[in-house]
Structure 1
Amino acid sequence: MPAAPSTTVQPCVLLTGFDPFGDTGHSDQPINPSWQAVKALKGKRIAGHTLVAAQLPTVFQASIDELHRLLAQHKPTLVICVGQAGGRGAISLERVAININDARIPDNIGSQPVDTPVVPGGPAAYFSNLPIKAMLQAMQDAGVAAEVSQTAGTFVCNHVFYALMHALATRRGFKRTRGGFIHVPYLPEQGAPSLPLEEIVRGLRLAVATALATSQDIAKGAGAVS
């Protein structure tokens, strides 16, 4: 009798970036470095894991709906959502997501929630469960500009970060999945401060490799951004 086909799911890492939105810096072209960097890593393999890249819309709620779909489809070992942070000069490893939407500008469909929860009744905040200090050290040792950030803002980036951590904490089958959020600076064509795309990609690759290899974070002081 022929053997049954294998149903083994290959381990993967889910990386998400955003589509361009209103903050394009000085660039006349729609661009979002988070998606450009994530897309460059699509299909790469690190520590036996395939990197899956997906784009989220810069839209409240729709971004969460797409993230939930991707989690169900890929069942990743590790999830890193990436977003743009104009005005920052280093790759920012976000520590905490808060349960608030407070949009300074509209999202890509004109929605601009103010003082609303990401998840009604959810906890006030979630911490990243990535080894952010070890990731920081790996990037800094490699000469990549990096920092730990204590705020992911209150726009769609924080919205997605909070929703990710809430899903990992509450949804069946994701208790062992690690996740978090990284902000990246402008590209040079968008203005200053900035990092070249190749440097952002190198930093994200180091972040993924370190997260997969590190079960216990290291204790190390790190500067924060406000």
Structure 2
Amino acid sequence: MKVLFTGFEPFGGESSNPSAEAVLQLCSQNAPAGVSWQARILPVEFKRSAELLNDAISQLQPDLVLCVGQAGGRTAICLEQVAINLLEARIADNSGWQPSGEAVVSGGPAAYFSNLPLKAIRAQLQQNGIPAQISYTAGTYVCNALMYQLLHSLAARPDQPCRGGFIHIPFSPEQAAAKPDTASMTIATVVAGLRQLVLCCQQYQTDIKASAGTLD
């Protein structure tokens, strides 16, 4: 199984991005049996991030694409269920573009759902002592846009089966140190979680039956 990981460059005034640190660190390690993996670091730009991701998919022909991004304020590894066809940027991206109310893909579906075994992944991470939850919003910034464009691209390639999804992670402890009362997660924990995630995707082609959802 060929796995493509992506992380992001820093944005929003931060000097680092734990998503980039985690995927680079993971892909420097020996992969599990039957797995090969590579990492790409993408710019926090609505347009160019998707272009570079599609280039990497065409080049590497992966079986699994796992995009990882930082979401300050999250308290766990968040397995994103849905990406929506909306660009709504509270701050400009790193190219200076700040869209508002535009579509990610003009004429595209309102939303796409992850095709990863999210409930199985959540269970496996939690069993290994790693905080994890299923999230039902990837926001409206570059992370959501990248997830949407990833799933849109995969849907257009039915003859080349590939699974893909998006994972949000908390701030690193170094980032949170300057932000009182802000949750964080060590890069080592994120790396361990991503490794378990790959093993779970290797094991499960379809998801397990388990309760999920939110009341708010």
Q: State the distance in 2 between where 1:162 and 1:109 align.
A: 20
Report the Cα offset of residue 47 of structure 1.
3.7
Q: CA deviation at 1:224?
A: 4.7
TM-score for both structures, normalised by structure 1:
0.89
- Cross-structure match for 1:189: 174
Please say which of residues 46-55 and 178-187 is displaced more in the overlay: 46-55
2: CA distance between counterparts of 1:23 and 1:159? 20
1:212 positional shift: 1.4
**Superposition RMSD on alpha carbons, in Å?**
1.5
Given the alignment of the two structures, is residue 138 of structure 1 paired with residue 124 of structure 2, yes or no? yes
Shift of the alpha carbon at 1:48? Answer: 1.0
The one-letter code sitting in structure 1 at the alignment partner of 2:111 is: A
Q: TM-score, normalised by structure 2?
A: 0.93
Question: Which residue matches 1:210?
Answer: 200
User: Structure 1 residue 46: deviation in Å?
Assistant: 2.4
- Give 5+ residue unaligned stretches, structure 2: 177-181
In structure 1, runs of 5+ residues without a counterpart are 1-10, 25-29
SS at match of 2:27: coil
- Residue deviations 1:9-37, cap 9 Å, x none? xx41000000000153xxxxx10011100
Larger-Rg structure: 1
Task: Tell me the number of residue pairs that the alignment of Structure 1 and Structure 2 aligns.
Answer: 210
Query: Are the aligned partners of 1:90 and 1:195 in contact in 2 as well (CA < 8 Å)?
Result: yes
Q: Is structure 2 residue 96 aligned with structure 1 residue 106?
A: no
Match of 1:55 in 2: 41
| Cα distance change on mapping 1:33 and 1:121 into 2, 3 Å | same
Percentage of identical aligned residues: 49
Residue 225 of structure 1 and its aligned partner are, at CA, apart by 9.8
CA distance 1:23–1:46, change in 2 (3 Å): farther
Residue in 2 that maps onto 1:5? none
Q: Does 1:156 align with 2:146?
A: no
